[in-house]
Structure 1
């Protein structure tokens, strides 16, 4: 990722917390993971063309992986969110800010690399991730999104517990 020259980027979502669940639940690495999400933030150019250029460079970078990698500019999310989810949102201030808005606080985890060290972003901590327990995050996502995620994840990790909305 550093070779893409992005100021801020995070490997996030299921690529992180689901791999922790796999380790805790004695499942193989990568089990149940649909894709690997990478969030970046560039508010200098909010055009689709600028984001698409990064997506294409990343596709070349990850071409040798047997995995689907999805990279998205979180500075653009407010431009399309309402059409997809039915509600407006304010622009994110950073990619980490976008991570903080996942439907479950348990999913709000990201990993990045600064120079030679890894850095973890987990605004709600890691206790629930390690306990395979989901809690709703009512910041942006509606109730049905949280409940759909819980049902989907429980089908792959039956030991997962959750709080009701």
Structure 2
């Protein structure tokens, strides 16, 4: 995969991101990953020569059909009690279909895997996640590739996000101001 080694190098060089990834790894979840905005912000800060990444939250996704939403909330509370100065957002992707329609007004089918779930995240640039394997080596999940992430390009993932929601996300996250080299593709 193009840019895979670049991504691993950038993430490994960021002590704060690695602390969050190692913290997630220590939970012992199978089929877990850290991804979305934390990876986008780390890479785009690096590409913009910004030394400090301000993480709003850390998205920890995992896939376990045997667990319920209560367990998901327990993991989130456990992580948020660690005092790492970041909000953790923990979601069992095997359960997203149970609550997504109520929250966003769109019915979704159950995901078949963590990769299937990541392929529907809002933008290709944020449809990226990583995890540590049993040998503590970083593994990359990027079902839509890494081109948009490394080309500092933002476009909606048409699998899930409407143009209206994309525009709202763009505005609410102030991305154009935050990332001066950002190319936005509206379609």
Taking structure 1 as the reference length, the TM-score comes to: 0.88
Query: What is the match of residue 104 of structure 1?
Result: 123
Query: What is the match of residue 26 of structure 2?
Result: 3
User: Which of 74, 78, 83 is the equivalent residue of 1:57?
Assistant: 78
Q: CA deviation at 1:34?
A: 1.5
**Unpaired segments ≥5 residues, structure 2:** 1-23
Q: CA deviation at 1:21?
A: 0.2
String of CA shifts for 1:15-37, please: whole Å, max 9, x gaps: 10111000001112323x31111
Q: CA deviation at 1:109?
A: 0.6
1:27 maps to 2:46:
no
1:16-165 equivalences under 5 Å are 16-31=39-54, 33-45=55-67, 47-60=68-81, 63-116=82-135, 117-151=137-171, 152=173, 153-165=175-187
User: What CA distance in whole angstroms lies between the structure 1 residues aligned with 2:52 and 2:131?
Assistant: 19
Tell me, yes or no, if the aligned pair for 1:10 and 1:96 is still in contact at 8 Å. Answer: no
Q: CA deviation at 1:154?
A: 1.4
User: What CA distance in whole angstroms lies between the structure 2 residues aligned with 1:149 and 1:160?
Assistant: 14
User: What CA distance in whole angstroms lies between the structure 1 residues aligned with 2:100 and 2:116?
Assistant: 15
> Residues 96 and 58 of structure 1: is their aligned pair in 2 closer, same or farther, counting only changes over 3 Å?
farther
User: What CA distance in whole angstroms lies between the structure 1 residues aligned with 2:147 and 2:186?
Assistant: 18
User: What CA distance in whole angstroms lies between the structure 2 residues aligned with 1:139 and 1:102?
Assistant: 8
Aligned length: 161
Query: What is the match of residue 18 of structure 2?
Result: none
RMSD of aligned residue pairs (Cα, Å): 1.6
User: What CA distance in whole angstroms lies between the structure 2 residues aligned with 1:142 and 1:132?
Assistant: 21
User: What CA distance in whole angstroms lies between the structure 2 residues aligned with 1:106 and 1:80?
Assistant: 24
> Residues 142 and 100 of structure 1: is their aligned pair in 2 closer, same or farther, counting only changes over 3 Å?
same
**Unpaired segments ≥5 residues, structure 1:** none
User: What CA distance in whole angstroms lies between the structure 1 residues aligned with 2:128 and 2:117?
Assistant: 11
